[in-house]
Amino acid sequence: MRARACIKCKEYVVIHASNPLNQSKIEFFERKHHLHTLITVNLDEIKDQYKINKNNGSNGSSGENHNSNS
Ligand SMILES: [Zn+2]
């Protein structure tokens, strides 16, 4: 699986080639980061260092992971 990633922000979106909703999501991502450096890479190469850009349209997204180290 491949992803479009911004080196500067350390964010990425997963590329689903056959999904039109995903296409517009990638376009939005590219527009947002057009002054930055965008790369296309295999998801495996970046997913540990980059965070996914969740753009699901909900305002005030406070659904952060509770990273509880037990
Ligand atoms: Zn960026």
The model's pLDDT over 29-59, given as tens digits with 9 standing for 90+, comes to 999 999 999 999 999 999 999 999 886 554 4
d(CA 65, CA 16): 24
Say how many Å lie between the CA of residue 29 and the centre of ligand 1: 8
Whether pLDDT at 22 is above 80: yes
Say how many Å lie between the CA of residue 70 and the centre of ligand 1: 33
What value does the mean pLDDT take over residues 12-21? 94
Say how many Å lie between the CA of residue 10 and the centre of ligand 1: 7
pLDDT for res 54: 81
Average pLDDT, the chain: 84
d(CA 50, CA 43): 10
- The model's pTM is 0.73
Say how many Å lie between the CA of residue 8 and the centre of ligand 1: 5
Say how many Å lie between the CA of residue 68 and the centre of ligand 1: 28
d(CA 56, CA 50): 18
More confident residue, 8 or 59: 8
